[in-house]
Amino acid sequence: MRQPFASAAVKGVLRIEPFRRAMKGKDFETRITNHRSPVAWMNRVLAGEDARGDMDAMTAEQAARERVVVGLRRRDGLDRDSFFAASGFELEALAGAMIREWVARGFAADDGGRIRLTREGLLFSDSLWAGVLNETPA
């Protein structure tokens, strides 16, 4: 079984770092996070125990919506073709109206192939996600 941590030897010191989040498979309908307490996580890893914390089952649409949020948190944004290939959903179908609103308000830039948040959009991004994560189509 693959260990739920990454390790690297650095000048004779073993450094163990938790993965922030693991999403497995193309459908990735299960989200796995490490234990929230770094001390508990470290104790579990050192004891050879499972260091996972929360495991959330998601529908394919919920996983795609989360992919939108995670992708837009990145500075390079979200490529429409890559998103479709990974999720099976059209970005327009899930968040098209919201994206058009964000562009109009100066929160996002959309070149037709890639959507990315502007500097202002990144500052206000936490207030944007509720609409994306809502399961009512845009």
Instruction: Give the SS3 label for residue 23.
Output: strand
For 130, residues 6+ apart whose C-beta sits below 8 A from its C-beta are: none
Domains of the chain by start residue, with CATH:
6-57 (no CATH), 60-133 (1.10.10.920)
- For residue 29, the model assigns a pLDDT of 67
Share of the chain above pLDDT 70, in %: 76
Q: Which residues on neighbouring strands pair with residue 17, listed in sequence order?
A: 6
**What local confidence, expressed as pLDDT, does residue 26 receive?**
45
Q: Where are the alpha helices (DSSP H) in the chain?
A: 38-46, 60-73, 80-87, 91-105, 119-123, 129-133
Instruction: Report how far residue 4's alpha carbon sits from residue 33's, in angstroms, rounded to the nearest whole number.
Output: 10
Which tens digit of pLDDT belongs to each residue from 54-111?
777 788 888 899 899 989 999 899 999 999 998 899 999 999 999 999 999 999 999 9
What pLDDT score was predicted for residue 22? Answer: 46
**Predicted model pTM:** 0.64
Matching residue, tokens 């693991």: 22
Exposure b/e, 81-108, CB count within 10 A at least 16 = b: eebeebbebebeebbeebbeebeeeebb
- Residue 56: per-residue pLDDT: 76
